[in-house]
């Protein structure tokens, strides 16, 4: 594409699941700055510092520009022909020798829908396995499991714009101002200008807490208890929506039986939330005409993640808040296209559009379209694939746009898994820590160098548009996958992402009406079953996707590892505004680096005083799995007994400390609770 005249290319921010519309200003084949379109949802002229600087990493000197193959201990640059021949040949050999289930793939929530569709098609139709998953496993797999069981659909039920229709907004386990900034701006707007009420439930005093009418700070990992406690009060005080429960739900009797035990006094013992505060919170939520619940990783990333989500769905249904405008159960999705990667079936147990592998008619439909016999048995999840690699059962991994050597739980184990593989292929835009262990590295293009679609957290499918040519020989992921499939003897051939979307629409009922010609104005929210359908801003109106809403009572279960004499603090991990996941993009962006140059461990002043730790000093943090050295920030944001380290910084990798304990249903790791000890190693004045 030639761009000597200045051009403005409309596209979507490549960072978080808000899916902000942005405009790339292009001249001489470079993006010089980013602005924003005032008229388009979901951001209507707003964006955050990451979106505003999202052009910087595109032309960074570290971008991968040629394929690399490991020869001995070094990488050498090779042609596409040589790299793809090697990958095709090794996949075919391993498949032949150990069977298709010895190969697995991690797809990418950074890639487009079209690319993710091809990733799972490649694994299922060309390799012949359902071992395909992606970072949603680490993120909202508990949401998908919990909400599909309760409501029939695992997605955010309502839209961002509808927040202003809610009378009460309950935010829990979501650091919205740092991680979904434009949603936080919306919340600020409606509580300050429209008199709406805000309730925050979060152990840390995150940004919204100081604006809240009620802030509850439970001990980490105790969410089922306070949620059951709220329902106990709502039933005891007769504040529940009887007509709704009778007409639209089932299994209320079992719920009532279980929550009966969760008196405010018992909940106070488990969570530390004063009984009276819980009573006030329960009344505020239940008495609202419309109340929406917004949640994220503080709820999902626990061994009880699926139970936490079920408890949230129970509370919302008890008060008649699902299936109405301005209400709902709203898991904020993390990555720019994690919703889309799930929708496209980059999951080991479902085909595109959550169509079940166990339905014969579904399998036949895909077999006919893809002209190949498909594997029936569900595959392994991302966390299970890594474990199977450690045990020598998975021999090869094809990792596309993920960096598990920084993002996975308990990094020593992840390293063992990756090093134990016979063959690792990594397809990325940078030479990540994970890529450094690969035999073959395939250079992909970034969001600014390709066409396609992303689906944001409110299920809105939006177009991204090629603004600048690829860096060096890098290619779009969809082309790389097609070329690899061809070399492995499977005919995978598309003229453009638009053609891929036509195939997706044909085979995926919730995307049935999606066509590029319809996406220009403001995208479309699925379900959009046919070409005349206007899209769906909120789900479960009149009827749940599964028919009746199912109450699933759950009991409180403690976290896998609690503090003790040797490891007396709870470590909570997560994010900061200026960095993004494993930092591959944000840490190559000058302005973001300046704002937040190094990892900081947040600790409460009381704990710091007891340990004799000064602000800005260096401490060593140890868990049963590893140790890191990190600088201290003394702050009230962290409650006593809980410290927080962001996981963005590989040199102080929080995940050397975290535990690989998994939720038994969704297999999500417990990133939010493990036990650590802390000691100062260098005072602030020495550094």
Ligand X SMILES: Nc1nc2c(c(=O)[nH]1)N[C@H]1C(S)=C(S)[C@@H](COP(=O)(O)OP(=O)(O)OC[C@H]3O[C@@H](n4cnc5c(=O)[nH]c(N)nc54)[C@H](O)[C@@H]3O)O[C@H]1N2
User: Using CB under 6 A as the criterion, which residues of the chain lie in contact with ligand X when the complex forms?
Assistant: 16, 108, 110-111, 135, 138-139, 172-175, 178-179, 201-204, 206, 220-221, 223, 296-299, 301, 334-335, 400-404, 407, 427-430, 432, 444, 446-447, 477, 572-575, 577, 579-582, 584-585, 647, 654-655, 658, 671-672
Which among ligand X, ligand SF4, Mo ion, none contacts residue 182 (Cβ within 5 to 8 A by kind)? ligand SF4
Closest CA to 385 of 344, 348, 357, 358: 348
Q: In the range 47-76, which residues lie near ligand SF4 by CB under 6 A?
A: 47-48, 50-51
C-beta of residue 505 within 8 angstroms of C-beta of residue 518: no
CA atoms within 13 A on the CB side of 25: 8
Q: Contact, 552 vs 251, CB < 8 A?
A: yes
Closest among 207, 161, 248, 264 to 537, alpha carbons compared: 161
18 binds, among ligand X, Mo ion, ligand SF4, none (CB under 5 to 8 A by kind): ligand SF4
What is the rounded distance in angstroms from the CA atom of residue 53 to the CA atom of residue 364?
46
Q: Which sign, positive or negative, has the C-alpha torsion 158, 159, 162, 163?
A: positive
Q: Are 12 and 447 in contact (CB under 8 A)?
A: yes
How would you write 279-307 as a 3-class SS string?
Answer: HHHHHHHHHCCCEEEEECHHHHCCCCHHH
CA distance 470 to 446: 8
Shortest reach from residue 140's CB to Mo ion, in Å: 7
Q: Does 331 engage in binding with Mo ion (CB under 5 A)? A: no
CB of 409 to ligand X, least distance (A): 7
Task: Give least dist CB 18 to ligand SF4, A.
Answer: 4
Work out the number of other CB atoms within 10 angstroms of the CB of residue 491: 9
- Give me the least distance between CB of 139 and Mo ion, in Å please: 3
- Binding segment for Mo ion (CB under 5 A), chosen from 132-140, 357-365, 608-616, 628-636, is 132-140
Task: Look at the alpha carbons of 58, 59, 61, 66 in this order and tell me if their dihedral is positive or negative.
Answer: positive
User: And the tokens for 147?
Assistant: 């909400």
Distance CA 213, CA 580 (A): 30
Q: Cα dist. 1→59, 89, 675 in Å? A: 16, 33, 53
Residue 207: half-sphere exposure toward Cβ, Cα within 13 Å = 16
Nearest one of 470, 433, 596, 484 to 121, comparing CA atoms: 484
Distance in Å, CB of 450 to ligand X, minimum: 7
Cα–Cα distance, 311 to 259 (Å, whole number): 10
Asked if 463 is part of the footprint of ligand SF4 (rule: CB under 6 A), the reply reads no
Question: Is 461 a binder of ligand SF4 (CB under 6 A)?
Answer: no
Minimum Å gap between C-beta 488 and ligand X is 19
**Site membership for Mo ion, residue 106 (CB under 5 A):** no
Please identify the residue of the shown chain whose CB is closest to the bound Mo ion: 334
Choose between 165 and 575: whose C-beta lies nearer to Mo ion: 575
By beta-carbon proximity to ligand SF4, the closer residue of 18 and 438 is 18
Give the range of 44-52, 77-85, 129-137, 292-300 binding ligand SF4 by CB under 6 A: 44-52
| 215 touches ligand SF4 by CB under 6 A | no
Helix (H, G, I), strand (E, B) or coil at 103: strand
- Picked from Mo ion, ligand SF4, ligand X, none, the partner binding residue 75 (CB below 5 to 8 A depending on kind) is none
Question: From CA 87, how far away is CA 397, in angstroms rounded?
Answer: 11
Q: Residues 11, 15, 312, 314: which binds ligand SF4 (CB under 6 A)?
A: 15
Q: Which of 16, 139, 570, 642 binds ligand SF4 (CB under 6 A)?
A: 16
Which helix H or strand E contains 27, and what residues bound it? strand 21-27
Under DSSP, the state recorded for 138 is G
Q: Is 334 a residue that touches Mo ion (CB under 5 A)? A: yes
What's the token pair of residue 8? 């403005």
Stretch that binds ligand SF4, among 13-21, 279-287, 472-480, 546-554 (CB under 6 A): 13-21
Q: Closer CB to Mo ion, residue 342 or residue 442?
A: 342
304 contacts 228 by C-beta, under 8 angstroms: no
Please report how close the Cβ of residue 512 comes to ligand SF4 at its closest, in angstroms.
Answer: 27
Q: CB of residue 43 vs ligand SF4: minimum separation in angstroms?
A: 6
Asked if 171 is part of the footprint of ligand SF4 (rule: CB under 6 A), the reply reads: no
Torsion sign over Cα 235, 241, 246, 249: negative
Among Mo ion, ligand SF4, ligand X, none, the one that 47 touches (CB under a kind-dependent 5 to 8 A) is ligand SF4
Contact 42, 576 (CB under 8 A): no
Q: Using the rule CB under 6 A, is 405 a contact of ligand SF4?
A: no
Smaller CB separation from ligand X, 90 or 672? 672
With CB cut-offs between 5 and 8 Å by kind, which of ligand X, Mo ion, ligand SF4, none does residue 162 bind?
Answer: none
Q: What is the pairing mode between strands 329-331 and 291-295? A: parallel
Helix (H) or strand (E) holding 170: strand 168-172
Q: Minimum distance between the CB of residue 293 and ligand SF4, rounded to whole angstroms?
A: 20
What does the block give as tokens for 591?
């302005």
357 binds ligand SF4 per the rule CB under 6 A:
no
Segment (H or E) for 143? helix 141-151
119 is a contact residue toward Mo ion (CB under 5 A): no
CB of 180 to ligand SF4, least distance (A): 6
Q: In the complex, what is the shortest distance from the CB of residue 1 to ligand SF4, in angstroms, rounded to a whole number?
A: 23
Name the one range near Mo ion by CB under 5 A: 73-81, 157-165, 327-335, 454-462: 327-335
Please count the residues of the chain: 687
In whole angstroms, the minimum distance from the beta carbon of 327 to ligand SF4 comes to 23
Q: Provide the binding-site residues for ligand SF4, judged by CB under 6 A.
A: 13, 15-16, 18-20, 43, 47-48, 50-51, 181-182
Q: Provide the binding-site residues for Mo ion, judged by CB under 5 A.
A: 139, 334
């Amino acid at each position: 594409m030639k761009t000597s005249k200045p051009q403005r290319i409309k596209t979507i921010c490549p960072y978080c699941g808000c899916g902000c519309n942005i405009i790339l200003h292009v001249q001489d084949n470079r993006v010089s700055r980013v602005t924003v379109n005032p008229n388009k949802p979901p951001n209507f002229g707003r964006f955050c510092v990451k979106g505003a600087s999202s052009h910087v990493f595109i032309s960074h000197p570290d971008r991968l520009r040629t394929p690399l193959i490991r020869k001995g201990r070094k990488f050498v640059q090779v042609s596409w022909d040589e790299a793809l021949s090697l990958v095709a040949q090794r996949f075919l050999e391993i498949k032949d020798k150990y069977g298709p289930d010895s190969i697995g793939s991690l797809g990418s929530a950074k890639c487009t829908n079209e690319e993710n569709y091809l990733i799972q098609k490649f694994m299922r139709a060309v390799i012949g396995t359902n071992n395909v998953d992606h970072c949603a496993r680490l993120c909202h797999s508990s949401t998908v499991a919990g909400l599909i069981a309760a409501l029939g659909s695992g997605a955010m039920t309502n839209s961002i714009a509808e927040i202003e229709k809610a009378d009460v907004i309950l935010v829990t386990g979501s650091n919205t101002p740092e991680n979904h900034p434009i949603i936080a701006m919306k919340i600020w707007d409606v509580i300050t200008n429209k008199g709406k009420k805000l309730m925050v439930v979060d152990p840390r005093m995150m940004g919204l807490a100081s604006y809240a009418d009620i802030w509850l700070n439970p001990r980490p990992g105790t969410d089922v208890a306070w949620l059951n406690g709220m329902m106990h009060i709502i039933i005891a005080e007769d504040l529940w929506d009887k007509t709704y429960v009778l007409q639209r739900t089932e299994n209320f009797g079992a719920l009532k039986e279980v929550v009966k035990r969760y008196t405010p006094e018992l909940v106070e013992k488990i969570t530390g939330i004063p009984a009276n505060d819980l009573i006030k919170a329960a009344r505020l939520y239940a008495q609202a005409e419309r109340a929406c619940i917004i949640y994220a990783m503080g709820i999902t990333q626990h061994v009880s993640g699926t139970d936490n989500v079920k408890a949230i769905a129970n509370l919302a249904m008890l008060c008649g808040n699902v299936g109405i405008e301005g209400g709902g159960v709203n898991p904020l999705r993390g990555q720019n296209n994690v919703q889309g990667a799930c929708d496209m079936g980059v999951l080991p147990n479902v085909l595109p559009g959550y169509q079940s592998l166990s339905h014969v008619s579904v399998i036949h439909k895909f077999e006919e379209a893809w002209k190949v016999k498909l594997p029936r048995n569900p595959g392994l999840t991302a966390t299970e694939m890594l474990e199977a690699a450690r045990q020598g059962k998975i021999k090869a991994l094809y990792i596309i746009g993920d960096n598990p050597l920084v993002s996975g739980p308990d990094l020593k184990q992840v390293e063992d898994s990756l090093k134990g593989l016979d063959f690792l292929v990594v397809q990325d835009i940078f030479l990540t820590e994970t890529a450094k262990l690969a035999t073959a590295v395939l250079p992909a293009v970034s969001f600014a160098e390709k066409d396609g679609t992303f689906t944001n957290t409110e299920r809105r499918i939006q177009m991204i548009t090629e603004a600048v040519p690829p860096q060096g020989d890098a290619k779009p992921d969809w082309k790389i996958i097609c070329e690899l499939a061809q070399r492995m003897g499977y005919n995978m051939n598309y003229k453009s992402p638009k053609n891929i979307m036509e195939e997706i629409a044909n085979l995926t009922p919730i995307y049935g009406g999606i066509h590029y010609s319809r996406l220009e104005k403001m995208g479309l929210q699925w379900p959009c079953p046919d070409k005349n359908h206007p899209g769906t801003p909120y789900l479960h109106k009149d009827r749940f996707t599964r028919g009746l809403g199912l109450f699933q009572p759950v009991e409180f279960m403690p976290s896998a590892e609690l503090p003790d004499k040797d490891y007396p603090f709870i470590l909570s991990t997560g994010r900061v505004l200026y960095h993004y996941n494993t930092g591959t993009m944000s840490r190559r962006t000058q302005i973001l680096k300046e704002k937040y140059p190094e990892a900081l461990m947040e600790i409460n002043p009381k704990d710091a005083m007891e340990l004799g730790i000064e602000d800005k000093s260096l401490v060593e943090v140890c868990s049963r799995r590893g140790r890191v050295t990190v600088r201290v920030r003394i702050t009230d944001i962290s409650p006593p007994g809980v410290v927080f380290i962001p996981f963005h910084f590989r040199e102080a990798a929080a995940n050397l400390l975290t535990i690989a304990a998994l939720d038994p249903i969704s297999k999500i790791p417990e990133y939010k609770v493990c036990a650590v000890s802390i000691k100062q190693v260098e005072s602030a004045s020495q550094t």
